[in-house]
A and B are shown apart, each in its own frame.
Chain A
């Protein structure tokens, strides 16, 4: 399987980019010990014009490179944690609905639809506005708007798997329903969940950036979306303030998408497309 993944060039590039972003995020305090908020030089220094400030300075004379590296932490952290939380809500709900059927299915699916009918981003804005923007509330809001597709996916997978012969065999062997669900059915639905999760991290990063762009980010955490939002008013005179964080978001989201696609191909060999690069 790993070999199949490695043979997908796009996926490998994705992994390399992601590893680089993670490495930067982890070493942020070593690279820029003064933090992202330190006002280090004159404001509006053009990139590559000053030694030690390769990406220039922002409206307050803060180092754009420091902001990018520290911002990577926030983006990755919010992306990962909110995806985990979404999985923790979506997987059990979808599994119960798909496996038990009947009123459990009806109830769970109506509940899921209730969340699905409200536009994701609008709901996230409302949640963050009510809870006051902190990293915790933003992560929670993103998780709350991203779990419904997980529930639906898991439900469909569980429904497909539970009709397999080995599940019947387990039932005949006298295993309890719960044991069958957790021991036999769920493990066989993991691969599509993993693929979906990698794409969800990408979506979560975008959501966080959008919230920060609108000024609903945690005011104490430097993030890419915040950098772009703050640069919006000066976009005509200082392009680099929104350009670099924009590139960072683009690369990270692209990397996660490539990885997701690679995983999808690797985990579903019979679906693997011909001519994949």
Chain B
């Protein structure tokens, strides 16, 4: 029987073992960029919201940097042998921030009622779920219609945050006035939000794990300009710069300062992978030889070293190397301009201009587009950069009005959660920039993606994904550019900041400051 179990005893022992070193107390100032649109994690799940609300709300499970599930609100769990029944045993004595007890009924309400309505990404996974039942106050059972390999990965706080039934049941979720003062079970409680300035969280004194959290309070500081954020860190005004909050050129400078540490860890669950959508429907990019030529023409190492200051990893294909079921055994595309030229000649490329749409996220992405244009023009491809703001980028990609377009997407730990959506024909839907925007159609692979998602045996799934990766890399549906690494920069006296696969989103629980 496939059996995953962790007990409170082990955790308590582990915590007791470490407790010697940790010091309680203190305040942490973290940059949040941009200011989140809201903090009700069940309603909004963009990056800044997850950063702040990941400490207010909790999921049933947490995930290590190796993406192994660990206890969250569920202290243990079992998966039946047929992969259809997931049983979770919740922590005893958990209360919401307003004092109400947290029970299995809240889990059923969150997953089956609230998030089914509000959370599009989770809804796709819940389609595999037949019933969600509360057996008693601390036991919940998810029964699936058919096995779904990545199901154990959907209990992360940003994917399935637990929301309070006693506040939301029977109300209009989007307009409930409690959304402004979020109530969760997490280690920190919402205290105040000064719009345009800061969000203030304070320690949850009644947190169900004794001794946690260590910090007294956390301030998330809103500082709109990248250079000002760097200065705020230099002057000691903030202690933590989450990944992506300063320009890459500043990262090197700041990390060289005394007493400053940085880590690239804490993004494993998301594994942001950057690529260029290549329009598979029309123009030169519809020809697989042209797409392969693009891969050979690009000097991806140069961009990693220069534009990203050495952060990140060159991807081999659609699955990031930190995501489960990655395979390195695929056709390789080294920087080889001659090969690119030969491919272009073979297809008879006539010099038709192709448009390149950069991601409008600042200087780094603009430079990146310029470097790619230069690489491509050196093998004879005529490239023109389109200019667009964020709204324009959304419009052009979701309406398929582009030849090549930069993007990056999260993988959520499993190919069936965050990878296949970009390559299967059933995800070709105009109007969204997050699905199969390139218009790649390969019925044979579609069947393999679908089969791999419902396999329960890990080795079997690995074999299936190995095969898929090998084949899809040959077709180059999109031009994979870089496994992005967003280093978190912090003062070295802050310890245990990044301990999970989603980094500081839920990491403040364990963080402590050496006085």
* Residues of chain A at the chain B interface (Cβ within 8 Å): 37-39, 43, 59-61, 129, 132-134, 215-216, 218-220, 230, 232-234, 236-237
Contact between chains at A60 and B385 (CB < 8 Å): no
A220–B367 touching, CB < 8 Å: no
User: Which residues of B have CB within 8 Å of A60?
Assistant: 306-307, 367, 370-371, 374
**A219-B374 CB under 8 A given contacts A230-B363, A233-B249:** no
CA distance A232 to B250 in the complex (A): 12
Total A-B Cβ pairs within 8 A: 53
CB atoms of B226 and A215 under 8 A apart: no
**Contact string against A for B residues 287-319, beta-carbon threshold 8 Å, 1 for contact and 0 otherwise:** 000000000000000100011000000000000
Q: Mind listing 28 A-B residue pairs with CB under 8 Å?
A: A37-B373, A37-B374, A39-B302, A39-B371, A59-B249, A59-B307, A59-B367, A60-B307, A60-B367, A60-B374, A61-B306, A129-B389, A132-B386, A132-B392, A133-B387, A134-B387, A216-B387, A218-B387, A219-B366, A219-B370, A219-B385, A220-B384, A230-B363, A230-B367, A233-B249, A236-B253, A237-B249, A237-B253
Chain B residues whose C-beta falls within 8 Å of the C-beta of A132 in the assembled complex: 386-388, 392
Chain A residue with the shortest CB-CB distance to B371: A60
Residue B474 at the chain A interface, CB threshold 8 Å: no
Residues facing A in B384-403 (CB within 8 A) are 384-389, 392
In this assembly, does B120 line the interface, its C-beta being within 8 Å of a C-beta of chain A? no
Which listed residue (A43, A134, A215, A237) contacts B366, Cβ 8 A? A215
Answer whether A219 and B249 are a contact pair too, CB < 8 Å, given A39-B371, A60-B307, A61-B306: no
Q: What separation, in Å, do the CA atoms of A38 and B302 have in the docked complex?
A: 13
> Contact partner of A219 among B302, B371, B377, B387, CB < 8 A?
B387
Q: Which listed residue (A37, A134, A234, A236) contacts B370, Cβ 8 A? A: A37
Q: Which residues of B contact A (CB under 8 A)?
A: 226-227, 247, 249-250, 253, 302, 306-307, 358, 363, 366-367, 369-371, 373-374, 377, 384-389, 392
B307 to A233, Cβ gap below 8 A? no
Q: Give complex CA distance A237, B253 in Å.
A: 9
A159 to chain B, nearest CB (A): 43
Nearest neighbor of A61 in chain B, beta-carbon distance: B306
Q: Is the interface of B mostly helix, strand, loop or mixed?
A: helix
In the bound assembly, the distance between CA atoms of A61 and B371 in angstroms comes to: 10
The distance in angstroms between the C-alpha atoms of A59 and B387, with both chains bound, is 20
Contact residues in B for A59 (Cβ distance below 8 Å): 249, 306-307, 367
Residue of A38, A219, A234 with most chain B CB atoms under a 10 A cut-off: A219
Which residues on A sit within 8 Å (CB–CB) of B306?
43, 59-61
A-B complex: 7 closest residue pairs judged by Cβ atoms = A219-B385, A133-B387, A233-B247, A234-B249, A37-B374, A219-B387, A233-B363
Q: A220 to B250, alpha carbons, bound, how many Å? A: 26
Known pairs A61-B306, A220-B384, A233-B227; list 4 more (Cβ under 8 Å): A133-B387, A134-B387, A236-B253, A237-B249
- B476, chain A: closest CB distance, angstroms: 24
CB distance from B426 to the nearest CB of A (A): 34
A230 and B226 alpha carbons, distance in the complex (Å): 14
- Chain A, residue nearest B384 (CB): A220
Complex: chain B residue closest to A129, CB-CB? B389
Q: CA–CA, A59 to B226, complex, Å? A: 17
CA distance A218 to B386 in the complex (A): 9
Taking CB atoms, residues of chain B closer than 8 Å to A216 are: 387
Task: Across the interface, name the chain A residue whose C-beta is closest to B252.
Answer: A237
Q: Which residue of B lies closest to A42 (CB)?
A: B306
Shortest CB–CB separation between residue B174 and chain A, in angstroms? 31
Assembly CA distance A218 to B369 (angstroms): 14
Write out the residue numbers on chain B whose beta carbons fall within 8 Å of the beta carbon of A234.
Answer: 249
Residue numbers in B under 8 Å from A236 (CB-CB): 253
User: Which residues on the A side are within 8 Å of B373 (C-beta)?
Assistant: 37
A38 touches B374 (CB 8 A): yes
What is the CB-to-nearest-CB distance from B356 to chain A, in angstroms, rounded to a whole number? 9
Name the A residues within 8 Å of B366 (CB-CB): 215, 219, 230
Question: Which B residue's beta carbon lies closest to that of A39?
Answer: B374
Closest to A229 in B: B363
| Residues of the B chain whose Cβ atoms lie less than 8 Å from the Cβ of A219 | 358, 366, 369-370, 385-387
Per the bound structure, the CA–CA distance linking A59 and B358 in Å amounts to: 17
Complex Cα distance A119/B439, Å?
45
Q: Which residues of chain A have C-beta atoms less than 8 A from B358's C-beta?
A: 219
CA distance A60 to B309 in the complex (A): 11
Smallest CB–CB gap between B376 and chain A, Å?
11
Chain B: minimal CB distance from A144 (Å): 19
- A38→B378 CA distance, assembly (Å): 9
Enumerate chain B residues within 8 angstroms of A232, measured Cβ to Cβ.
363
Which residues of A have CB within 8 Å of B307? Answer: 59-60
Question: Could you tell me the distance between the alpha carbons of A219 and B365 in the complex, rounded to whole angstroms?
Answer: 13
Q: How far is the CA of A133 from the CA of B389 in the complex (A)?
A: 11
Task: Give the interface centre of B227, B306, B307, B358 by most chain A CB atoms within 10 Å.
Answer: B306
- List chain A residues, Cβ under 8 A from B369: 219
CA of A37 to CA of B363, assembled, Å: 16
Closest Cβ of chain B to A148, distance in Å, is 27
**What is the minimal beta-carbon distance from A196 to any residue of chain B, in angstroms?**
32
In the assembled complex, the Cα of A132 lies from the Cα of B392 at a distance in Å of: 10
